[in-house]
Amino acid sequence: MSTPYDRPGTYNPGTGEPLPPVAPSEPSEISAAIGQARAAQPAWAARPAGDRYDLCRKLARRIMENRKQVCEIMAAETGRTATEAFMSEVVYLMTAVDSAVRACEAATATVPVPLSFIEYPGKKACVEAVPRGVVGIIAPWNYPLSNFYKPLFPALLSGNTVVLKPSEFTPRTGQWLYEQCVAVFPTNVVKIIQGAGDVGQKLIQGVDAIVFTGSVPTGRKVALQAAERLIPSSVELGGKDAAIVLADCDLTRTVAGVGYWGFHNAGQNCAGIERVYVEAPIADAFVAQLGKLAAALRVPEDLGPLQNPRQLQIVEEHVADALAKGARLVAGGKPTGQGLGYAATVLDQCTAEMRIMREETFGPVLAVQRVPDAEQALALANDCAYGLGGSVWTKNTARGEQLVRRMEVGVAMVNNHAVSGTLPESAWTGMKDTGTGIAQSQFAYATFVRRRTVLVDTNKDPDAWWFPANADLAAFAEAAAQKSLGSFIVLPKLVGLISKRVKAIKALATQK
């Protein structure tokens, strides 16, 4: 029996109302998009950096000015309210682009190479950043607009052209972004292709670098395919973030913060809190307060639905497994009955044997495990296949810093969680199955630029180590070695040998 949710991207997850389908790109269209972006790239890279910066700012302003339109599109594709879409994906965009510009300037600055005027007379060298060419961006459905920002702006700012591939579940948001790019940038600087995984595979075959955000299994395939082509890939994959709640925390603020980062976007956030390890002395009070918060949240006013039936199925399976193995249901635990909505859920008395403590749930569920102390919490938090973010909640911030630095994560926080994802000058990265890609900041630019060394030699004389390989060359090598070991007494001898070598080299080159 068919349902409104049978075909990705053709329904509103909150209501089941149909959305017009978006046709996938044909192979010829994919090749054409990549070819057109490649043809446009040299001229784009040749523009002054300031021009590229101004146009990126212009794009951000255009998105902000048309925010109502895009938020309505996101609301239809994700089931969230337009207000939540606005708050999550648009409101800080102008500030983010200004930060991205600063990060680009730091990452792409030319670096001089220090050279000794004795051994390397008349020479100057530098290392500069050169755009890769065409960057492909494959984005997921959970944040269908802002997941493009982190790679799009660095790629464009550093002189690349871009081909976007939105998720097949949220194609219209990506199409809208593309249309804004077309209105701002020169022709073919940004292109778009639509479709599922097969379209993404064809994209990787033609670009010079790929950025992927999504699941671990698909991310492994993307990284392998890129490696076979010897192109850089940045993959940001799953997460199973843990929050460690210490007995001395500010209980009210901690409940509010853990609740927000656990239920935000219906938990469909790779950096959302999924596991909570709370010290026993405050566990009863913490769980009770968290349960009340969850019970008060409304769907879809406070959190939207799951985006697709498979995600709802995973959530239901994880909750059922936890309850069967002894977890206690504190709040929620069932679908709302409207669309793909699922009530904000708190599970207490969870253990490491439960799937909900080990596998990525990606839903509005907070699983709580009680622990005797912080060391046990740390050991359990680190016993995980993922390593994106982690947080410690405590009034003793010095202790919190010490503890969080021992968490096996790429983003470590005290008394907050995932907020650095909105800071474009901070590295957003992970370890383990989360992947080692860096999604923003100057540290992400290995994906977007390659390094090129340029050396210019104005020395009128030949270099002292050129042919002939006579006895003076051995003496020169020995003197140079002694200088490198810190002997400055040898400098006059070295200078004399250089002069002698130059004469011998000229004689060899001019003999008749």
- pLDDT in the model for residue 243: 98
DSSP string, 101-114: HHHHHHHH--EEEP
User: Which residue is catalytic, options 56, 104, 270, 384?
Assistant: 270
Alpha carbons 192 and 33: distance in angstroms, whole number: 7
- Quick: pLDDT tens for 381-418: 999 999 999 999 999 999 999 999 999 999 999 999 99
- pLDDT in the model for residue 494: 94
- pLDDT in the model for residue 512: 79
Q: Is the pLDDT of residue 97 over 80?
A: yes
* Residue 78: pLDDT band with limits 50, 70, 90: very high
| Measured distance between the N- and C-terminal CA atoms of the chain, rounded to whole angstroms | 93
Percent of the chain with pLDDT over 90: 97
- Quick: pLDDT tens for 187-202: 999 999 999 999 999 9
- Quick: pLDDT tens for 322-352: 999 999 999 999 999 999 999 999 999 999 9
Q: Which pTM value belongs to this model?
A: 0.95
Mean pLDDT (the chain) is 96
270 in catalytic set = yes
Q: Is the pLDDT of residue 282 over 70?
A: yes
How is residue 312 written in tokens?
Answer: 């709802």
Q: Is the pLDDT of residue 7 over 60?
A: yes
Dihedral sign of CA atoms 15, 16, 21, 24 in order:
positive
| Residue ranges of domains in the chain, CATH in brackets | 27-237+443-451 (3.40.605.10), 241-424 (3.40.309.10), 461-510 (no CATH)
Q: Is the pLDDT of residue 244 over 50?
A: yes
- How many Å is the Cα radius of gyration of the chain? 28
Q: Is the pLDDT of residue 124 over 70?
A: yes
* Residue 4: pLDDT band with limits 50, 70, 90: confident
Amino acid, res. 127: V
* Residue 161: pLDDT band with limits 50, 70, 90: very high
**Mean of the pLDDT values across residues 3-23?**
91
For strands 365-371 and 123-131, give the pairing. Answer: unpaired
List all residues 6 or more positions away from 354 whose beta carbon is below 8 Å from its beta carbon: 318, 321, 322, 325, 327, 367
User: Which residue is catalytic, options 168, 236, 274, 360?
Assistant: 236
- pLDDT in the model for residue 6: 78
- pLDDT in the model for residue 2: 56
**Mean of the pLDDT values across residues 140-169?**
97
**Mean of the pLDDT values across residues 91-103?**
95
* Residue 1: pLDDT band with limits 50, 70, 90: very low
Report which of 148, 22, 177, 216 is spatially closest to residue 440, judged by C-alpha positions: 148
**Mean of the pLDDT values across residues 348-360?**
98
For strands 123-131 and 449-457, give the pairing. Answer: antiparallel
71 in catalytic set = no
Q: Is the pLDDT of residue 253 over 90?
A: yes
Alpha carbons 305 and 371: distance in angstroms, whole number: 32
**Mean of the pLDDT values across residues 346-360?**
98
Is the CB of residue 52 less than 8 Å from the CB of residue 159?
A: yes
